[in-house]
């Protein structure tokens, strides 16, 4: 495997993780465009389609295009900066429209106060992380920018991990109850954030070592 091909497993994995929510979102948009069928599980989207359309469209761009931001070769090119001008605003709109849906839509069957609180918490955290990432890059604090945007992205692709976690529960135990479902979805977000923090802790010592080596060689 060449150095160039070794750069692609991570973005490929992220796109694969995003596949389930992206396809589900596409089905939802198709239903809205076709005008139905309308049932108890989706009537709220037909009554107020704007937030869900914004959320699906922007989340799809954020997850798919954002995956390519993890390719090292692209991070050293103007493409990264130009794509970031699309990815970051889309992520922010996805987070804010998700909060809008959480607050404005009636709770569907299977939701409850625990999941409601988790959605508010992680939706707010995603928006804050992306704003901090934008502020960091404006200050040319690129390490902080990368860390904050990675955290926001981890929350943004949480639906993919949630699908995996929920399936892993469903296969042996069957459909979860309201509280268990909320905890499984929360675990999806936390798993992604834990992976990001693990990655950041690995990168920081390596970066510090390079700085020390550069300082020593310049003496």
Instruction: Quick: pLDDT tens for 147-195.
Output: 999 999 999 999 999 999 999 999 999 999 999 999 999 999 999 999 9
Instruction: Quick: pLDDT tens for 115-154.
Output: 999 999 999 999 999 999 999 999 999 999 999 999 999 9
Supply the pTM of this predicted model. Answer: 0.88
Cα(197)–Cα(187) distance, integer angstroms: 15
Cα(170)–Cα(156) distance, integer angstroms: 23
Listed in sequence order, the residues at least 6 apart from 116 whose beta carbon sits closer than 8 Å to its beta carbon are 102, 107
Task: Provide the phi-psi class of 36: left if phi over 0, else alpha when psi is between -120 and 50, else beta.
Answer: left
Above 50 in pLDDT, residue 200? yes
Most confident stretch, 10-14, 48-52, 203-207: 48-52
214 exposure class (CB count in 10 Å sphere: 0-12, 13-18, 19+): exposed
């Amino acid at each position: 495997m060449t150095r160039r091909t070794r750069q692609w497993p991570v973005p490929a994995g992220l796109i694969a993780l995003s596949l389930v929510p992206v396809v589900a979102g596409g089905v939802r948009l198709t239903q809205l465009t076709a005008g139905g069928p309308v049932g108890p599980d989706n009537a709220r989207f037909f009554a107020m389609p704007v937030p869900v359309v914004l959320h699906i469209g922007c989340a799809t761009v954020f997850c798919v295009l954002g995956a390519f931001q993890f390719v090292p070769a692209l991070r050293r090119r103007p493409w990264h900066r130009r794509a970031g001008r699309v990815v970051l605003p889309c992520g922010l709109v996805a987070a804010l429209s998700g909060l809008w849906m959480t607050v404005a839509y009636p709770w569907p069957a299977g939701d409850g106060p625990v999941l409601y609180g988790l959605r508010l918490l992680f939706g707010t955290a995603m928006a804050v992380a992306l704003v901090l990432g934008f502020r960091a890059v404006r200050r040319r604090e690129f390490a902080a920018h990368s860390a904050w945007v990675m955290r926001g992205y981890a929350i943004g692709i949480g639906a993919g991990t949630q699908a995996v976690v929920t399936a892993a529960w469903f296969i042996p135990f069957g459909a979860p109850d309201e509280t268990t479902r909320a905890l499984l979805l929360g675990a999806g977000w936390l798993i992604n954030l834990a992976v990001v923090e693990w990655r950041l802790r690995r990168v920081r010592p390596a970066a510090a070592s390079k700085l020390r080596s550069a300082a020593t060689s310049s003496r």
